[in-house]
Structure 1
Amino acid sequence: MPSSGMLQRNRFVRMVLISNVFSQLGIWVRNLAILFYVMEKTDGDALAVALISVAEYAPIFIFSLIGGVLADRWRPKKTIVWCELASALSVGIVLLVLDMGMWEAVFLATFCSAVLSQITQPSGMKLFKLHVPDEQAQAGMSLLQTLFSIFMILGPILGTFAYQTLGIRLSILLTGIAFLLSASAMVFIPPDNTTVVGERVMQTSVMRDMVDGIRYVAAKKVLVYLNLCFLAVGLGVGLISPLGIFLITERLGLPAQDLQWMTIPYGLGEIIGGIVTFRLAAKIAPQWFLMLGLVVNAAGIILSGLSTVLWLTMTAQFLIALLQPAIFIGNNALVMLHTDQAYIGRVAGIRTPLMTGSMVVMMSVSGIAAKTLPLEIIYGAAGICFLLGALIVLPLCEERLAAASR
């Protein structure tokens, strides 16, 4: 089994982590700056604020599969570097348009970055498949998830500070610089293997690659289970995502401002969970990580809906966040282990809109559900979605046990 030291000495992993630090910094500064700027310009207009989410989520449905195909056809290192440079360029264009007095241009920054991320994300998974041994894949995913968890806490603080001290133009400029630094870090990873990619691009069309990707996923039992699992998880997450404030006001009877107390245990749980998962990644099979995360999240969500005391709700939120990294790390590691390198991009491109689409659908009906059903019933239903996901992937755990007993 690989040690954490071996993984951290991997030059590719170090450069990816550095690149993601700059990328996450740029994303959070941009997102918070745009949010505050739009609220300031529109006096808090709900429709204008909602358009930010549209600019962020719409490209997932439109470009995810196409982005996955392109990630499989293009050289992954070169693709990521050029996409980061394109993100920086789009930021520069936004600055020019802002100087012309068209404040609506800030939506363009979010939209362009969201489109490009549909190519960079599957390209990143492809690079992991190329440069990280299979036995280290889960530990590598754990490191990245820990980094994302840290930015879940630091990101809003940094983004708010940047906007309040620098304003919208310098915040956008800082975002562009961060993307340039992210691209610079990726330059230092090992070069792409050009032979296989070049041959396949000449022999196939984009449409044929899409069809081949769908057929590949449908023929792989493990990938079908994982996609259905994430579909169920998306339903559960979408159902309760807009309703967290009502845990405070209705179930606990506290003022809405006390929602901030929920972020403390959640953030701590995310960071601790990421670190613990990294330490255990070499010792526990990814399907068990995934199963444990789904079951504990289901229990935490149900407990959150039933609780009427603050300490119990905070404990439930901590447990949810503690095991949440296990869900994504276990799922991603299984995808890496059971997907051929040539199909990584398309597999990611198919999976992403499934989860995001189910989330958006349930988010659109959660408000209606909250008006007609008790909050504990809604949270119970969300918990059942996670348990359904656990049942879907249960055969993978049974197969692991059967293989170990032989």
Structure 2
Amino acid sequence: MSEQALPAQPAGKLFSNTFFQTILFSNVLLQIGIWIRNFAILMYVTDRTNNDPFAIGLMTFVELLPIFVFSFIGGTFADRWKPRLTMIWCDLLSAVSVFAVLITIMYGSWHMVYLVTFVSAILSQFSQPSAMKLFKQHIAPEQLQQAMAMFQSLVAIFMVVGPSLGVICYQRFGIEISIGIMGVAFLLSALVLFRIPRDREIEKDENAPKSRFWSELGDGLKYVWRSSVLRSLGGTFALAGIAVGTTQTLGLFVVIERLGQPKEFLQYVLMVNGIAMLLGGGLVMALAKKIPPQKLLAIGILLSSFTMAGIGLSTSVPLSLALQFIGGLGFPCIQIGISTMILQWTEEKFIGRVNGVLSPMFMGMMVVMTLVAAKLKQHFPLVGIYCAAAGLMFLAMLLLVPLFKYRPEARTGETGTAA
């Protein structure tokens, strides 16, 4: 496929870019559908199962499993398929699956709500990398950082308002109308995407080996294994995935059992976290040039460790919300630290595959723990589980300490040069 970008516009004309207007509006519709899916269905499952830990954990499992399984596959096929058509088809298929599930629910098969989450999570793994490819094609290089910042800010805004949107939709309209709104949001997103200029024709290489996909995956694994920095980062990912997967699944029970609040209070917890992420993002941008990425990542993980333990121990609503706020401030440290480390210690031609190898280490552990956490909840107290998760986060931070001495700008070989 041709990689030639469309003619660049002046830096101040980003919002006059038809592609950017379209992708932003499409993402608003997708975020509405995703957050209604996440919280309306979560509230519905808790009501139907009387707060059963396994049923709630299964909800998170079906959302995360496709991300783990398809993250590398989706990125690979995004380079082979037409990105505009891929995004349109993904949104259309998401809408079709939602309406199909709605029909089955109307006739009494409530367990099909899991299928809505599962299918849309699979399709998003093909749609998201296609969107990134279109960003590179249709936005001038000097506008990319501004465009991506706005795109990520929109996601953070929905972290604040999304939970309330899903809960209110379920409480006022019930699960059937909530799922219907979700399907309409996905359908409208697909229609909006038709405003994007048509894809260029893909140049097929008839001589390309059939096993190229698996060969690329193997090369990515070998590349990560040869780098002491990337190996350590992989270990950090795995430990953090175990901790985050455990606490994410049991967050609802902290609200109900430790804080004595109704399940709907979870929306306010996530709103506080989302507000802190917005503020923390600006703070990290100001400090990022002064702090090496491995130290920035360690700071974020250390904050997560302490706030996890505090949230598990706390029975005070104000204290728990304060801890959620502190944890939200640290989350941008983790995001920016990870992405910067991968970019600095990875050759350009391996960046996609390194992401494809490392991301499943985090998501894989999360997927496993979403189910294991439900079983742990049946045998261990919440305080003990949260403190154990905090301990794992602390160990993840310790794995980064030996990397403090490395400087990517002077690296030799695969590890870097010690300061």
**Quick check: TM above 0.5?**
yes
Larger helix share, 1 or 2: 1
1:188 aligns with 2:200: no
1-structure distance, mates of 2:377, 2:129: 33
Amino acid at match of 2:408: E
2-structure distance, mates of 1:211, 1:28: 37
Match of 1:213 in 2: 217
> How many residues in Structure 1 have an aligned counterpart in Structure 2?
398
Match of 1:234 in 2: 241
- Asked if the contact 1:139/1:281 (under 8 Å) is kept, the reply is no
1:157 aligns with 2:157: no
- Asked if the contact 2:82/2:199 (under 8 Å) is kept, the reply is yes
Change (3 A) 1:249 1:6: same
- Asked if the contact 2:256/2:262 (under 8 Å) is kept, the reply is no
1:113 aligns with 2:117: no
* TM-score, normalisation: structure 2: 0.75
1:29-48 correspondence to structure 2 within 5 Å: 29-42=36-49, 46-48=53-55
Which of 112-121 and 256-265 deviates more? 256-265
Amino acid at match of 1:378: A
Equivalent in 397, 401, 408 of residue 399 of structure 1: 408
Match of 2:5 in 1: none
1:4-403 correspondence to structure 2 within 5 Å: 12-42=19-49, 46-131=53-138, 140-195=147-202, 198-200=203-205, 203-205=208-210, 207-216=211-220, 218-219=222-223, 221=227, 226-242=233-249, 244=251, 255-256=260-261, 262-263=269-270, 265-277=272-284, 290-301=297-308, 304=311, 313-332=320-339, 335=342, 346-363=353-370, 364=372, 367=377, 370-371=380-381, 374=384, 377-378=387-388, 380-388=390-398, 390-391=400-401, 394=404, 398-400=407-409
* TM-score, normalisation: structure 1: 0.77
2-structure distance, mates of 1:283, 1:186: 40
Secondary structure, in 3 states, of the residue corresponding to 2:86? helix
Give the deviation of 1:116 after TM superposition. Answer: 0.9
Give the deviation of 1:23 after TM superposition. Answer: 0.5
**Residues 46-92 of structure 1: per-residue CA shift (max 9 Å, x gap):** 55444433432333344333333322321222211211111112122
- Asked if the contact 2:221/2:354 (under 8 Å) is kept, the reply is yes
- Structure 1 stretches of 5 or more lacking a match? none
1-structure distance, mates of 2:128, 2:30: 12
**Residues 98-120 of structure 1: per-residue CA shift (max 9 Å, x gap):** 44443333332222112212222
Give the deviation of 1:383 after TM superposition. Answer: 3.4
Amino acid at match of 2:204: E
When the two chains are superposed, the root-mean-square deviation of aligned CA atoms in Å is: 4.3
Change (3 A) 1:247 1:34: closer
- Asked if the contact 2:64/2:121 (under 8 Å) is kept, the reply is yes
**Residues 134-189 of structure 1: per-residue CA shift (max 9 Å, x gap):** 77666554433332222223122111222233333322221122112222343334
**Residues 214-253 of structure 1: per-residue CA shift (max 9 Å, x gap):** 3135326476555444223213323433455787799xx7
- Structure 2 stretches of 5 or more lacking a match? 1-9
2-structure distance, mates of 1:355, 1:375: 19
Which of 51-60 and 283-292 deviates more? 283-292
Secondary structure, in 3 states, of the residue corresponding to 2:332? helix
